[in-house]
């Protein structure tokens, strides 16, 4: 499904970007290191003169070009002024599209929240009933609101597209019926539309107070697959935030073309994001806007949902190839972790040699002209990257490839010890930042059960599609050191 290209318009005057909190200045400010994946961006003297601090306000074509370069490198983020906060920043015309199937209680709750929020009270709302068993109940819940009905269920992608087709506004907000947006969410997201190349922006998805409290609800509140975390980010395949869920989105209508791929019963949101970025559009995640979601917290239902998410990987692989790889790791990092496992002390020495060699090559590659290679800095970067790769490798061992892990553990005592250590370490590392909010046994149980369910769905999807690409690792794309 082809999408229209973004317009050639530059960022407008007054648009401001701010360097990310983890960005490092190198070479006396002549280079910036940051982004996800990390890259080194060298600034020309004219660009260096424009970026004197951590903020850059667009005032002309040259500053607009630099701001766009920083955005696309993931080194800076927009400093967004929420619409409605300042009279000069009005809320654009937005249609709210709500797909629903049977969930009439949640639908009524959502519509009440939209009417109570000054930012959405005047927005046209389109509810799309995707073949609910009791259409009269849905019609009663949406009295006074435009309703479109599918006589038979066609899936959430088709329901959203039906609403998209009748929207005549500049922007479209998609909100699922099991969500409750916080007041002001739409104004915060709408501030991003000042960027003419911005196609889609998503809020942070938080947990609605559960009707059935328990350890599953607590785990889901802290580690939901829908929550992309507290940091704003550019969204793209291979980035730290590689997708955003369709539970709540604000989109520029003209960027979406025909919309979601209706042939995908799952992962249609990931597919849309990747098609948009592939067409040259920007997609952003904005956690300052928050939308609460009614998570599934009954154990069986929760595990079934995780397995369902897993089946989407094979569909994505058919459309996007290696972008869906469960593990992206360099040969250096892979060797550094595998050698000690297979070779004992000798392998550990080999790992040290691999990391040393990688540090030297990186230092030579990024050295400024006429300057000695920064060996110490490069070694630190290699070690941090290797640690990150180790965490990703542990996740794929216990999540994406656990059937192979179990098979290896059955036939090898060393594999059993290694797998046990990896499973425990992965749970502890994931739990540590949340240690004040949940106990380790509950978090570890949730982590392992979630991974088993997702991995089972992944393998089932692969077998059904007869396409193994969703299981194959990939090497990171080479990134030029100079910007």
- For 440-464, the pLDDT digits (tens) are 999 999 999 999 999 999 999 999 9
Mean pLDDT for the stretch of residues 278-293: 96
Task: For tokens 């290896």, name the residue.
Answer: 408
Alpha carbons 248 and 173: distance in angstroms, whole number: 7
Torsion sign across C-alpha atoms 390, 415, 336, 404: negative
Is the CB of residue 416 less than 8 Å from the CB of residue 441? no
Note the pLDDT of residue 295: 94
Highest-confidence range of 20-29, 45-54, 241-250, by mean pLDDT? 241-250
Alpha carbons 77 and 74: distance in angstroms, whole number: 7
Give, as one character, the DSSP assignment of residue 233.
Answer: E
| pLDDT greater than 50 at residue 86 | no
What's the chain's average pLDDT?
A: 91
143 versus 266: which is more confidently predicted?
266
Is the CB of residue 172 less than 8 Å from the CB of residue 255? no
Mean pLDDT for the stretch of residues 343-370: 85
| pLDDT greater than 50 at residue 479 | no
Q: Is 2 exposed, middle or buried (0-12, 13-18, 19+ CB in 10 A)?
A: exposed
Note the pLDDT of residue 480: 46
Note the pLDDT of residue 195: 94
Alpha carbons 189 and 282: distance in angstroms, whole number: 14
CA of residue 263 relative to chain centroid, distance = 22
Note the pLDDT of residue 477: 66
Alpha carbons 180 and 264: distance in angstroms, whole number: 25
Note the pLDDT of residue 90: 58
Give me the residues paired with residue 130 across strands. Answer: 150
**Burial letters for 338-353: b for 16+ Cβ neighbours within 10 Å, e otherwise?**
ebbeeeeeebeebbee
| pLDDT greater than 60 at residue 420 | yes
Structure tokens of 163?
A: 């609403």
Task: Determine how β-strand 282-293 pairs with β-strand 179-181.
Answer: antiparallel
Among 34-38, 129-133, 320-324, 405-409, which is the least confidently predicted range?
34-38
Note the pLDDT of residue 374: 84
- In this prediction, residue 481 has a pLDDT band, given cuts at 50, 70 and 90, of very low
Domain span(s) for CATH 3.90.550.10 in the chain: 94-297
40 versus 288: which is more confidently predicted?
288
Among 38-47, 346-355, 473-482, which is the least confidently predicted range?
473-482
**Burial letters for 141-178: b for 16+ Cβ neighbours within 10 Å, e otherwise?**
bbeebebbebeeebbbbbbbbbbbeebeeebbbbbbbb
Note the pLDDT of residue 472: 94
Is the CB of residue 89 less than 8 Å from the CB of residue 188? no
| pLDDT greater than 50 at residue 355 | yes
Note the pLDDT of residue 478: 57
- Collect all residues with Cβ–Cβ distance below 8 Å to 135 and sequence separation of at least 6: 129, 149
Which has the closest alpha carbon to 157: 203, 214, 99, 87? 99
| pLDDT greater than 70 at residue 482 | no
| pLDDT greater than 70 at residue 226 | yes
Which has the closest alpha carbon to 274: 227, 205, 320? 320
Torsion sign across C-alpha atoms 88, 199, 184, 57: negative
Terminal CA-CA length for the chain: 32
Mean pLDDT for the stretch of residues 120-136: 94
- For 159-189, the pLDDT digits (tens) are 999 999 999 999 999 999 999 999 999 999 9
Cis bond before residue 33 (omega within 30° of 0)? no
The helix/strand/coil state of 23 is: coil
Residue 404, CA atoms < 13 Å, CB-side half-sphere: 9
Note the pLDDT of residue 371: 77
Torsion sign across C-alpha atoms 422, 426, 432, 438: negative
| pLDDT greater than 60 at residue 85 | no
Q: What angle do CA 331, 390, 374 make, to 5 degrees?
A: 65
Q: What angle do CA 265, 317, 176 make, to 5 degrees?
A: 30
Alpha-carbon distances of 98 from 71, 162, 165, 195, rounded to whole Å: 31, 10, 13, 25
Note the pLDDT of residue 242: 94
50 versus 201: which is more confidently predicted?
201
- CATH code given to domain 94-297: 3.90.550.10
| pLDDT greater than 80 at residue 483 | no
User: In 10 A of CB 13, how many CB atoms?
Assistant: 12
Note the pLDDT of residue 83: 54
């Amino acid at each position: 499904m082809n999408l229209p290209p973004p317009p050639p318009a530059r960022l407008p005057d007054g648009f401001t970007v701010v360097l990310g909190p983890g960005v490092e200045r190198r070479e006396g400010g002549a280079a910036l290191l940051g982004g996800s994946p990390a890259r080194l961006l060298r600034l020309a003297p004219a660009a260096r003169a424009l970026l004197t601090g951590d903020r850059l306000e667009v005032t002309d074509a040259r500053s607009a070009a630099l701001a766009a370069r920083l955005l696309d490198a993931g080194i800076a983020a927009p400093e967004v002024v929420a619409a409605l906060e300042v009279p000069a920043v009005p809320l654009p015309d937005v249609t709210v599209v709500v797909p629903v199937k049977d969930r009439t209680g949640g639908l009524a709750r959502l519509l009440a929240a939209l009417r109570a929020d000054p930012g959405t009270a005047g927005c046209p709302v389109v509810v799309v009933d995707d073949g609910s068993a009791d259409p009269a109940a849905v019609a009663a819940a949406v009295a006074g609101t435009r309703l479109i009905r599918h006589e038979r269920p066609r899936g959430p992608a088709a329901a959203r597209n039906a609403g998209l087709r009748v929207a005549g506004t500049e922007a479209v907000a998609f909100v699922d019926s099991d969500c409750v947006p916080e007041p002001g969410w739409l104004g915060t997201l709408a501030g991003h539309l000042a960027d003419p190349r911005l196609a889609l922006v998503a809020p942070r998805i938080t947990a609605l107070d559960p009707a059935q409290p328990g350890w599953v609800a607590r785990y889901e509140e802290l580690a939901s697959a829908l929550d992309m975390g507290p940091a704003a980010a550019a969204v793209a395949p291979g980035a730290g935030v590689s997708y955003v869920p369709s539970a709540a989105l604000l989109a520029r209508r003209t960027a979406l073309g025909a919309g979601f791929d209706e042939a995908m019963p799952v992962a249609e949101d990931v597919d849309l994001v990747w098609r948009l970025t592939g067409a040259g559009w920007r997609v952003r995640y904005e956690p300052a806007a928050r939308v609460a979601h009614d998570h599934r917290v009954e154990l069986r239902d929760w595990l079934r949902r995780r397995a369902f998410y897993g089946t989407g990987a094979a569909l994505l692989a058919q459309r996007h190839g290696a972008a869906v790889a469960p593990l992206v790791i360099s040969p250096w990092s892979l060797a550094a972790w595998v050698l000690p496992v297979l070779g004992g002390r000798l392998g550990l020495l080999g790992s040290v040699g691999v990391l040393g060699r990688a540090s030297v090559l990186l230092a030579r590659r990024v050295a400024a002209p006429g300057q000695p290679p920064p060996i110490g800095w490069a070694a630190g970067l290699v070690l941090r990257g290797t640690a990150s790769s180790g965490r990703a490798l542990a996740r794929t061992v216990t999540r994406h490839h656990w059937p192979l892990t179990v098979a290896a553990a059955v036939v090898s005592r060393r594999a059993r010890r290694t797998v046990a250590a990896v499973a425990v370490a992965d749970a502890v590392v994931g739990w540590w930042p949340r240690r004040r909010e949940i106990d380790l046994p509950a978090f570890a149980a949730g982590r392992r059960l979630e991974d088993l369910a997702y991995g089972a769905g992944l393998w089932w999807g692969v077998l059904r599609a007869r396409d193994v690409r969703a299981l194959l690792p990939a090497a990171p794309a080479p990134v030029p050191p100079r910007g």
